[in-house]
């Protein structure tokens, strides 16, 4: 099967095109429109989205909410200097799996002090470099501490951002649980939703809690050897029934972001019908995948060799996606989480 080598999804991106801050207002970001039928593309702004869609279309958005899961503290045993942890939304009672920097300071038995109310003991070392921390409070109390002193877990390629916690959150975020934002949704504003509603586009909500594995590049040389990360999702019976009805009536289903894609394609059967789910998905979509439910996709520009660019390449064709990315670089589009987006129809 062609396009199965990880190297096929690599590209060189000028560092200055990695967006460090979001566009203000959100809906003024740029949007590249891709037409799969004609293999043509055009340049727009996100506030043009309503004119790119049609009455009867259904947008599917992911209403997960980013947890302020990044904490800064000190380890008194090793003297001065700040340390950082990122909670990975994987816990057993008071023990949390975290990414820790610098990892060498996080030795078993040491205490991490975040402030006078919150501390944790290092109780384990993971084979993948992660650490296990046992906090001095219950999980529900920990959430209150995160709201109090936590920082947005912005990706590591964002080095000098002035973004607030609210800017790394969609305007419709509702259900806390994500380690990262579903970034295709960051462009939406109440005004865009109002314009879509006025023209007869409906919106349905699903939930998928984004894991940090979403942003990791594929290490295996061949895609079939990659082990996909798991993410928890929920698709209600009411939403699945309405989406099935819309699909059978001939409406187009437009996934906002790869996370919405993962929910829909994980929940669809071979006949193209959704079943309600509360589950975890390890679905890995790459060229050769047989699409079941999604008709169009709104998505940001993704990291080289990531599972996300492979998913987009499966939907639009690798050569067309390569052409679009090359055009985006020439036209100085802004890339990744705070960057611009593309609408693929």
Give residue-wise pLDDT tens across range 304-313. 999 999 999 9
Is the per-residue pLDDT at 1 higher than 60? no
Share of residues in the chain with pLDDT > 70 (%): 97
User: Can you list the domains of the chain with their CATH numbers?
Assistant: 6-66+163-344 (3.40.1780.10), 70-149 (2.40.10.240)
The CB density around residue 121, as the number of other CB atoms within 10 Å, is 16
Mean pLDDT score, 164-176: 95
Contact 338, 186 (CB under 8 A): yes
Mean pLDDT score, 68-84: 91
For residue range 230-263, what is the model confidence (pLDDT) as tens digits? 899 999 999 999 999 999 999 999 999 999 999 9
Using CB atoms within 10 A of its CB, is residue 66 exposed (0-12), middle (13-18) or buried (19+)? buried
For residue 23, the model assigns a pLDDT of 97
Is the per-residue pLDDT at 93 higher than 80? no
Q: Which residue has the higher pLDDT, 196 or 219?
A: 196
For residue range 283-335, what is the model confidence (pLDDT) as tens digits? 999 999 999 999 999 999 999 999 999 999 999 999 999 999 999 999 999 99
β partners of residue 299: 342
For residue 323, the model assigns a pLDDT of 98
pLDDT tier, 215 (very low <50, low <70, confident <90, very high otherwise)? low
Is the per-residue pLDDT at 120 higher than 60? yes
Q: Which residue has the higher pLDDT, 111 or 81?
A: 111
C-alpha 306/C-alpha 321 separation (Å) is 14
Please give the radius of gyration of the chain, using alpha carbons only, rounded to the nearest integer.
21
pTM tops 0.85: yes
pLDDT tier, 2 (very low <50, low <70, confident <90, very high otherwise)? low
Tokens of 130: 């992660």
Q: How far is CA 80 from CA 46, 74, 75, in A?
A: 46, 7, 8
């Amino acid at each position: 099967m062609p396009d199965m080598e990880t190297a096929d999804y690599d590209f060189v991106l000028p560092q200055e095109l990695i967006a460090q801050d979001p566009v203000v207002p959100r809906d003024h970001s740029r949007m590249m429109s891709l037409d799969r039928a004609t293999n043509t593309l055009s340049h727009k702004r996100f506030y043009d989205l309503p004119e790119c869609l049609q009455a009867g279309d259904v947008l599917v958005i992911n209403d997960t909410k980013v947890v302020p899961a990044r904490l800064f503290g000190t380890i008194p045993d090793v003297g001065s200097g700040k340390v950082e942890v990122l909670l990975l939304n994987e816990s057993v009672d008071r023990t949390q799996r975290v990414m820790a920097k610098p990892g060498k300071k996080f030795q078993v038995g040491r205490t991490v002090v975040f402030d006078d109310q919150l501390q944790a003991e290092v109780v384990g070392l993971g084979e993948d470099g992660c650490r296990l921390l046992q906090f001095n409070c219950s999980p529900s109390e920990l959430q209150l501490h995160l709201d109090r002193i936590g920082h947005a877990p912005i990706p590591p390629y964002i080095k000098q951002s002035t973004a607030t916690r609210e800017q790394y959150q969609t305007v419709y975020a509702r259900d806390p649980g994500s380690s990262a934002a579903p970034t295709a949704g960051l462009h939406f504003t109440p005004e865009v939703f109002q314009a879509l509603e006025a023209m007869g586009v409906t919106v349905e909500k699903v939930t998928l809690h984004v894991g940090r594995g979403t942003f990791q590049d594929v290490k295996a040389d061949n895609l079939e050897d990659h082990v996909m990360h798991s993410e928890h999702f929920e698709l209600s019976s009411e939403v699945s029934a309405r989406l099935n009805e819309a699909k059978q009536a001939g409406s187009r289903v437009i996934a906002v972001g790869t996370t919405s894609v993962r929910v829909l394609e994980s929940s669809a059967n071979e006949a193209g019908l959704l079943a309600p789910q509360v589950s975890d998905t390890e679905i890995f979509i790459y060229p050769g995948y047989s699409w079941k439910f999604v008709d169009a996709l709104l998505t940001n520009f993704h990291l080289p060799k990531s599972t996300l660019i492979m998913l987009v390449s499966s939907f639009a064709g690798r050569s067309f996606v390569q052409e679009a990315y090359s055009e985006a670089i020439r036209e100085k589009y802004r890339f990744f989480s705070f960057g611009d987006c593309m609408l693929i129809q």
